[in-house]
Structure 1
C-alpha cells in the first residue's frame, strides 16, 4: 500500500510537522478512547461479545495490558486479535530501510543509531500502514527460540564480525513486530522452554540470544490465544509467563440466537439462497449441540460448524437446481439432512455414545426444526393442510423433486399462501421451502405421517 504524497519524507520535515512520538500501547489507548467518545464501531464484524468480552478487552487496552484470550475453538479469538489493527494509527513513520521499523526519533539497532547520527535531519523516512504492523504466529511444537526472538546469523559472523557484535543477530518474529502488535495463536502449544524465551520480552522488553543480552527497548503489544488447558492436554502456559500477561479474558459462543444467526449470515459463503428460517434452524441446532450431554463440551461446538452447515445446505440446493434445471436455487427443509451426513466428523462425542452419533444428531436437528417452526408459524390454522394431505394429496419432496412439483401437490390452498406470507416467501423455490417447513412441523407434532427412502420423502 502506497503512503500519501503529502507526508514528511525526512526526519527534519517530520520534526517540523509537529509529529509526536508515542508508544504502541499509548497509540491504541488514545485511538480507542477517541472512538468510544465518538460512538464509532471499534470492532466491525465481531458479533455476540458486545456486553461481555469487548468491555473487558477495552478496559485491558486502556490499561496498557498484554492480553491472552482463553476459549474453546471457533469462538472468534483470532478475528478479535486481528481487529486490534484498527486501533493503530493509519500511517506511522519509520527509518527508511530499518530492519525493525524503528521510529525516526528513537533508533534502537546499532545501524539505525549510526545512520541517525550521520544523516541528522536529512535521514530519509518512510511510512508503514497499520495493516503491516500486525504479526501473527501459530504456535507449534517445533517453534524455536530463533523463530520468536532471534539467533546468531552465521553469514554475518563469516563476514568478519565477532560473536559478541549485536549486528550478528538475525532477529525473530517478536523483535520484527517492534512498534506493532504480535499475536501468538494457541500459546500452550509452545514448548515450555520456548515460552521462557518470552519472559524478558514481556517484562523487561529486551531480548537475549545465545547468551548475549542485546538491550533493545522493544515497543510491542503482545496478545495470545489459548484453548482451556483441561481440554487440550497439549501443554500449558507456564506460570511466570501467565503472570506477565496483564489480562486473561474468557471468550464464549454467542449467547443470543440473533448473534448466532448473524455470525452464520456474515461468514457463510452460500452457493444458493438459504431462507432465514433455515439459518435459524441451524443456529438452534448448534446451540442444542453445545447443551447436549452426548457431545464433549470440553472440545466445544465451533461457530464454524454452523457456518459449514449453512454452506452445505446451500450446496445441496444448488446441486438439485442444476440437475433439475431450476433457475433460482433455494434451500429447503429436505436439504437439512445433508448436514448430519457431511458434518458429523466435526464433532467429538462422549465415549459412551459410540454407535449413536447419527441418531443423536438427527434428534437434535428435529428438535431445532420443530422449535423454529413453532415460533415462526404459531397462530396459523394449518387444519386445512392436514385435511388436504390426509384426503389423498400427499406431498412428495426430495433431492430430485423440483419446487413446482412440491407446490403442485396442494394447489390453490389458501393456508399455503398464508404460510408463505408469514415467512416472506415469494418465488416458487421459497414457497416450496415454506410449505416443507410447515409439513415437517406437522410431522414432528404427529399430525401427519412421513415416509422417507430412495432420495424421496412423502408427507401424507
Structure 2
C-alpha cells in the first residue's frame, strides 16, 4: 500500500469541518501529537479486532506484535531485515493509523496545528488574527514523507539550509525566515521514513540526533528551535552495519525500538504473498504458484547462495510474472485465446532471474545449473504434496509401447489433451489440484503438465527437449 492509498483518499475535506481557529475551538477539537493519534487509533483497531496493516503477509505472530508494542509506547522504530522482506511496505502502512483529517494553519509552510504554531511567521499570524486564523484540513496521505538514504544526501535535504533567493530579496542573513526547510521539518505532524539508513553518511546521521531526542532542528547555527512533532521510522539491512555503512551508535541509541523482519515462515504465506504482489498477464494456477514459492525458499536455503544478502520476495514475484508471460507467449504462438501457466513455463525463470541472486564465490559459472536443480526439486516437492498416492499408471501406460507426449511452448492445450485422451486418473488429479469437475482445456493441460514432469522427476518417464521448444515425454 502506498501512502496515497492509505484508506480512501478524498479530493476535498468534508464541508462541515471548521474553517477558523475560533470555530475549531468551539467544535471541541482536541489537539493530539502524532504518536498519540497513532496510539489511540491502534488501540481502537485492536479492540475491534480489525486489520491494522494492509497488505502485510506472514508477520501476524512475529513482527506485527513487536511493532504494535513500539507504537503504543510512542517509540521511533528501526526495521531491520534483509532485502525484499516488506520493510518499506510495512512503514507505508503506518499512514492508515493517523486521523483521516487533521487541521492545519492555512498557508503555513510546515503545516502546523492551529493550536500550536511553531514558526515565527505562523506565530505572528496567529497573534494578529486570533480566532479568525484560517484553518484548512490535511488528509493523512499527505502526512508521510520518505527519503531513500544515499551517500550524496545532505543536511540541507533533511533539515534545511539558507535560501539564497530570500536573502537576495533583501532579508537579513540572520533572519530565520531565510531558511528553506528540508524534508524532516516539512513532515511536521506526520511520519518521516528513511529507507536504508546505514547508507546515509555518518556526518549526515548526526543531523538526526536532535530530531530524535530533543525534537528540534538547528540550521547553520541559527537561534531557531522548532519543536517538531513526528514519528521517525527507518529501515536497514543487517549487513549494512558492516559492509556499506553503519548506523552511528548515538543514533541507534535514540531509536526506541528495533524490530526484526523476516521472509515468510510458512509456505502458505509465501504463496499468498506472490499471489498478492504479482502482476500476471495470464492465469497462474495455485500449484504453479506453489512451485514458484517452493523454488524461492529452496534458493534462500541453498548453501550455494550467499545467505547474508538474502533472496528478496521480489524474486518470487518476478518468477510468477515471468511464468505468466511465458504462458502468454505460448498462447500467441499456439493460437490459444486464454492460456494458463503450466509448470513447464517456470523453466524460463532460471535464465532471466539469476541476476537477482548473489551466489557464493565458489559457484561462479554454475549459477544456471544450481537454479535449474533447485527448480526441479521444487516441482518434485509440489508433485508429491498434491499427487502423492494417486494412481498415475494410466499416464505411464500411454507411452509404454514406444509412444510419446509432447508439451512445451509450441503445443496448445487442446493438442496436449488430444494426446492424453481419456486417461485413467486424470479426474483424480484435477480434484487434487482443486480444478473441479469441468475445468477448461487450458487448466486441464496445466494439470497434465505437472503430472508428466512429476513422473519424469520420479524416474517413471523419460524426457527430451527439442531445439524448437517442444518437450517430449516417453517411456
Residue 128 of structure 1 aligns to a residue in which SS?
Answer: strand
Q: Deviation digits for residues 132-166 of structure 1, max 9, x if unmatched?
A: 00100111111000000000111222222222221
**2:393 pairs with 1:393:** no
TM-score, length-normalised on structure 1?
0.98
The residue that corresponds to 1:144 in the other structure is: 154
Partner residue, 2:62 = 52
Equivalent-residue separation in structure 2 for 1:231 and 1:273 (angstroms) = 42
Match in the other structure for 2:85: 75
Structure 1 residue 330: deviation in Å? 0.5
Aligned equivalent of 1:94, options 100, 104, 109? 104
1:35 aligns with 2:49: no
Matches of 2:97 and 2:240, distance apart in 1: 33
Cα RMSD (Å): 1.1
2:300: which partner in 1? 290
Look up the match of 2:458.
445
> What is the CA–CA distance in structure 1 between the aligned matches of 2:222 and 2:422, rounded to whole Å?
85
Q: Which residue of 1 aligns with 2:31?
A: 21
How many equivalent pairs are there? Answer: 460
CA distance in 2, matches of 1:241, 1:119: 40
Q: In the alignment, which residue of structure 2 is the partner of 1:459?
A: 473
Asked if structure 2 preserves the Cα contact closer than 8 Å seen for 1:326 and 1:402, the reply is yes
Counterpart selection for 1:409 from 419, 422, 442 = 419
Q: Aligned pair 1:306/2:327, yes or no?
A: no
Please report how far the alpha carbon of residue 448 of structure 1 lies from its aligned counterpart in structure 2 after TM superposition: 1.3
Change in 2 beyond 3 A, CA 1:230/1:189? closer
Mapped to 1, the partners of 2:64 and 2:219 lie a distance apart of 37
Are 2:127 and 1:117 equivalent residues in the alignment? yes
Q: Could you say what secondary structure the match of 2:102 adopts? A: strand
Q: 1:344 to 1:229 in 2, by over 3 A?
A: closer
Distance 2:309 2:285 in 1: 30
Q: Say which of 175, 183, 186 aligns to 1:173.
A: 183
What is the rounded CA distance, in whole Å, between the counterparts of 1:295 and 1:72 in structure 2? 14
| Larger mean Cα displacement after TM superposition, 317-326 or 124-133 | 317-326
* Residue ranges of structure 2 left out of the alignment (5+ in a row): 1-10
Unpaired stretches in structure 1, ≥5 consecutive residues: none
After TM superposition, list the pairs within 5 Å mapping 1:321-336 onto structure 2. Answer: 321-336=331-346
Q: Secondary structure at the match of 2:353?
A: helix
Structure 2 distance, partners of 1:199, 1:413, is 71
- 2:425 is paired with a residue whose SS is helix
Q: SS at 1:214's partner residue?
A: coil
Equivalent of 1:216 in 226, 237, 258: 226
Select which of 200, 204, 210 maps to 2:214.
Answer: 204
Task: Answer whether contact 2:239 2:309 (CA < 8 A) is retained.
Answer: no
Match of 2:372 in 1: 362
Deviations along 1:376-429, one digit per CA (max 9) or x if unpaired, are: 012211112112222233110111111111111121212123212321331111
Normalising by structure 2, we get a TM-score of 0.95
Structure 1: distance between partners of 2:120 and 2:91:
32
Query: Does structure 1 conserve the Cα–Cα contact (< 8 Å) formed by 2:157 and 2:182?
Result: yes
User: Any conservation in 1 of the 2:331–2:337 contact (CA below 8 Å)?
Assistant: yes
Contact 1:188-1:237 at 8 Å conserved across structures? yes
